[in-house]
Structure 1
Amino acid sequence: MKRCAFLSMDSLEDFFAYDHMLFEPLKAAGWLAEEVSWRKTDVDWNVYDVVVIRTSWDYQDDIEGFMACLQRIEASSALLQNSLKIVEWNISKNYLKDLQSQGINIVPTLWFNTFVLAELQLGFSHFDTPEIVIKPLVSANSDHTYRLTSENLKQQADQLKAVFAAREFMLQPFLNAIVDEGEYSLFYFAGQYSHSILKQPESGDFRVQEEHGGQLKSIQPCEEMLTTARHCLAALPADVLYARVDLVRYKNEFAVIEIELIEPSLYFNMDAESPQRFVDAFIEMC
């Protein structure tokens, strides 16, 4: 039986994770899967045929250590999915510039290397919005993501300056559609569409993750969503085992918030056939 490692955190106790739903269909296909923490430095990756990056949801706390782990895997005989090339492209949200240059509609964004309060304050007039969102270029789980009014920005300036002193970050208008309608996620395995969900934040919040109280609903995507997602996949620098395209409605069109290619939740719990689709894609690519 072949062996597959799912790259994970040390503990998923405080998270919603659904990769265990893959273990039985993988076993039926001749693959033994197990979770292995990316923080373990004594793993012999050569004993695995494939390593799939999955629930490494704390990688943003130690980017250098995480990348060093992936480089060790890449140097072993194991196949890394998604590939190191894809991770290097996707780990910073600078990739959104690549998408935009290829004609893909993204949420309007300003990019910053340093925190200068006066420059950030111009974001309100630039976007013609009463609220903005600041987030790091490298992040997960909405860590260090702030929804701010002009007054909040002034009040929290010292705190924000400390948070972003050593981080590149981005500025976007806060989109009311996220709280009024929600954020859409479309899932693809080996380039083939699998399923879609709508993620809606808890009342009073804007973060859609389950860990922050977000609610999930299965949906059928419209053709505009599917077309946007296909354009995103075509823009990637390499083939991928899995992709999650996150969309939000902006000025009556769908805009890309993110393409998640490193460690997205794939919400196998929301579609009964999705675990088998993933396994079929896994066998095809591995």
Structure 2
Amino acid sequence: MKKCAFLSMDSLENFFAYDDMAFEPLQKLGWQAEHVSWRKPDVDWSNYDVVVIRSTWDYQSDASAFLACLETIEASSARLENPLKLVKWNISKDYLRDMQQQGINIVPTLWFDSFELQQIQQGFIQFACQQLVIKPLISANADHTYRLTSQNLRDMHQQLTTEFAKRPFMLQPFLPAIVEEGEYSLFYFAGHYSHAILKRPKSGDFRVQEEHGGLLQSIEPCEEMLTCSRHALASLPEDALYARIDLVRHQGEFALMEIELIEPSLYFNMDPLAAQRFADAFVECFGRG
């Protein structure tokens, strides 16, 4: 039986993780899967045939060490998925600029290397909005992501100056559809559509992650969502074993919020066949054990 490592954190105690649901379908197809922390020292990655990056939801705190781990895996005999080239492209959210240049409709965005209050204030005018969202280019779990008004921007000025002093970031208009309608996620395994969900923030919040109280609902995507997702997948620099495409409605059309290729939750729990589809796609790529 071949072996597969699901790259993870030291502990998932405070997170909602569903990767274990793929272990049994993989085993039936001849693959033994287990969790291995990316922070664990002295792992012989050559003991595994494939290493799949999964719930590494603390990588943003030390991206250089995370990439060093992936480079070690890449140098071993194990196959890394998603590929290192794709991870390096996707790890900073300025990949969205690449996608926009390829004709993908993204959420309107400004990009900054350093924090200056006047530039942020100008964002309200440029986007013609009352609220902004600021987030680091390298981030996960909505860490260091804030919803700004002209009032709390003044109140948070010192905090933001400190947090973003050496952290490149992006600025976007806050889209009312996030709270009024929600954010859509479509999941693809080896390029094949699997399932889709709608994520809504809890009352009074704008973050849709379960860890922040977000609510999830299975949906059937409309043709416009599927078309947007296919275009996003086609723009990738390399094929992906898995991809999560996050869409939000803006000015009557769907806009790409993110395409998650490193450590997105794949929400196997939201579709009874999702874990099996993942296992089948995995075998399509790497063969039976």
Same fold (TM over 0.5): yes
Unaligned runs of 5+ in 1: none
Name the structure 1 match of 2:118.
Answer: 118
Q: CA deviation at 1:7?
A: 0.2
Q: Deviations over 1:96-119 (max 9, x none)?
A: 001100111000000000101011
Name the structure 2 match of 1:67.
Answer: 67
- Match of 2:41, SS? coil
Write the mapping of 1:248-267 to structure 2, written as runs, cut at 5 A.
Answer: 248-267=248-267
Provide the rounded CA distance (Å) in 2 between the counterparts of 1:103 and 1:91. 21
Name the structure 2 match of 1:52.
Answer: 52
Provide the rounded CA distance (Å) in 1 between the counterparts of 2:276 and 2:148. 42
Write the mapping of 1:74-223 to structure 2, written as runs, cut at 5 A.
Answer: 74-223=74-223
Amino acid at match of 1:259: I
What RMSD over aligned residues (CA atoms) do the two structures have, in Å? 0.4
- Match of 2:122, SS? helix
Q: CA deviation at 1:233?
A: 0.3
Matching of residue 7 in structure 1 with residue 7 in structure 2? yes
Matching of residue 42 in structure 1 with residue 42 in structure 2? yes
Is the Cα–Cα contact under 8 Å of residues 136 and 144 in structure 1 kept in the other structure?
A: yes
Write the mapping of 1:222-237 to structure 2, written as runs, cut at 5 A.
Answer: 222-237=222-237
Q: CA deviation at 1:285?
A: 1.1
Q: CA deviation at 1:284?
A: 1.1
- Match of 1:184, SS? strand
Q: Deviations over 1:174-202 (max 9, x none)?
A: 00100000000000000000000000000
Q: CA deviation at 1:151?
A: 1.1
Provide the rounded CA distance (Å) in 1 between the counterparts of 2:53 and 2:155. 39
Relative to the length of structure 2, the TM-score reads 0.98
- Match of 1:119, SS? helix
Q: Deviations over 1:36-70 (max 9, x none)?
A: 00001210000000000000000000111100000
Q: CA deviation at 1:154?
A: 1.0
Provide the rounded CA distance (Å) in 1 between the counterparts of 2:106 and 2:156. 27
Count of residues in Structure 1 that have an aligned counterpart in Structure 2: 286
Q: CA deviation at 1:92?
A: 0.3
- Match of 1:87, SS? helix
Q: Deviations over 1:75-101 (max 9, x none)?
A: 000000000000000000010001100
Amino acid at match of 1:63: A
- Match of 2:204, SS? coil
Provide the rounded CA distance (Å) in 2 between the counterparts of 1:72 and 1:133. 35
Deviating 4+ runs (over 3 angstroms): none
Relative to the length of structure 1, the TM-score reads 1.00
Provide the rounded CA distance (Å) in 1 between the counterparts of 2:285 and 2:121. 47
- Match of 2:54, SS? strand
Provide the rounded CA distance (Å) in 1 between the counterparts of 2:244 and 2:127. 27
Is the Cα–Cα contact under 8 Å of residues 41 and 69 in structure 1 kept in the other structure?
A: no
